[in-house]
Amino acid sequence: MKRVFSGVQPTGNIHLGNYLGALRQFVELQDDHECIYCIVDMHAITVPQDPKVLKEHILDVAALYLAVGVDPKKSIVFVQSDVPGHAELSWVLTCNSYTGELSRMTQFKAKSHNKESAPTGLFTYPVLMAADILLYATDIVPVGNDQKQHIELCRDIANRINNTRKKTFVVPDGRFLKEGARIMALDDPTQKMSKSAENIHSRISLLDDPAKIKKSIMKATTDSEGVIRFDVENKPGISNLMNIYSVLAGVPLEQIEKDYEGKGYGDFKKDLVEIVVNALAPIRERYEEIRHSDELIEILKDGAVRANAISEKTMARVKKNFGLGL
């Protein structure tokens, strides 16, 4: 069985983009792959975090994993900082990556606002991500499109080390979806939907109630043409909404165009509200059941033990191949 690894940051506001781009794939893959899903809390501290809030967000994301359908009987679910191998391997990889390649990462450029000096953790963020992936001899990494560059870097580092010393790592492939891989902000369809945008109506969080979902969709930016046609370049707003509709309702884009011929954006948006509300209702329900349960803690503890056992094998190989330790 091929091994799958992915992670989500515990930073609150998990949204429809995270679900359609990443979490949906997590569930799809778990029947015929060995899946490992991580809550990457060490990535979260690359920007300042309130410790109490971070703790809660870790459990929020864990509960959301389960609520969308990740099954702890099939998949390993755990918290990154509970397995020491991530930090250990990250250092070894840091010594085998270059400031030039890290400076080219678009996420770093965006998060450091192109300032001359930025926190080192933001700069080496993709190296820690590479460590997450390589630590588990991962074959496949399901993520949204925005992570393409980070996956490429991970492959480069793995190949570099494999080619200069003994074969140490499995070189992973990213898995990106065609539809839903990049969901855009509702208020500005030229930006990706994000957890941190100030306007809450820019995103639909997975735990939003129906009234909020309705408001965000009805307010969503479209264009003045009034025709429901998929055209990302000229009509990014309506195309983004059509993308969401298509994936959640399982209706191809061309069919949506036909179904809404002669109808206005208002009609389309009303139907989309219903589709999104119905898709998120069972997720919210399951989340409420599990979020404050002892079961959740047990699942994460058990996940950490299982993840640690796999990671130790990789670290033993890394130490041997690098001549580290006794």
Active site residue 212: no
Site for ligand TRP in 130-169 (CB under 6 A): 132-133, 141, 143, 147, 150
The region, left, alpha or beta by phi > 0 then psi within -120 to 50, assigned to residue 177 is: beta
Catalytic hit among 192, 214, 235, 269: 192
Using the rule CB under 6 A, which residue among 90, 97, 124, 147 binds ligand AMP? 147
Rank residues 8 and 76 by Cβ distance to ligand AMP and give the closer one: 8
Rank residues 22 and 310 by Cβ distance to ligand AMP and give the closer one: 22
DSSP E strand stretches across the chain: 3-8, 34-39, 76-79, 140-142, 173-175
Catalytic hit among 74, 148, 195, 212: 195
The rounded distance, in Å, linking the Cα atoms of 309 and 313 is 7
The rounded distance, in Å, linking the Cα atoms of 41 and 318 is 24
Q: Does 7 interact with ligand TRP (rule: CB under 6 A)?
A: yes
Rank residues 205 and 314 by Cβ distance to ligand AMP and give the closer one: 205
Longest Cα–Cα distance of the chain, Å, equals 74
- Answer for the pair 108, 126: CB distance below 8 angstroms, yes or no: yes
**Chain center to CA of 96:** 25
Active site residue 301: no
Number of other residues whose CB lies within 10 A of the CB of residue 299 = 22
Residue span 193-232 as binding mask against ligand TRP, x where in contact by CB under 6 A, dash where not: ----------------------------------------
Question: Which tokens belong to 164?
Answer: 């200069």
Active site residue 52: no
- Answer for the pair 124, 90: CB distance below 8 angstroms, yes or no: yes
Q: Does 144 interact with ligand AMP (rule: CB under 6 A)?
A: yes
Question: Which tokens belong to 42?
Answer: 């060490």
Q: Does 33 interact with ligand TRP (rule: CB under 6 A)?
A: no
* Residue 142, strand partner residues: 175
The residue whose Cβ lies closest to ligand AMP is 21
Interaction site with ligand AMP (CB under 6 A): 8-9, 17-18, 21-22, 143-144, 146-147, 181-183, 192-193, 195
| Interacting residues toward ligand TRP by CB under 6 A | 5-7, 9, 40, 43, 129, 132-133, 141, 143, 147, 150
Which amino acids are annotated catalytic?
A: 111, 192, 195
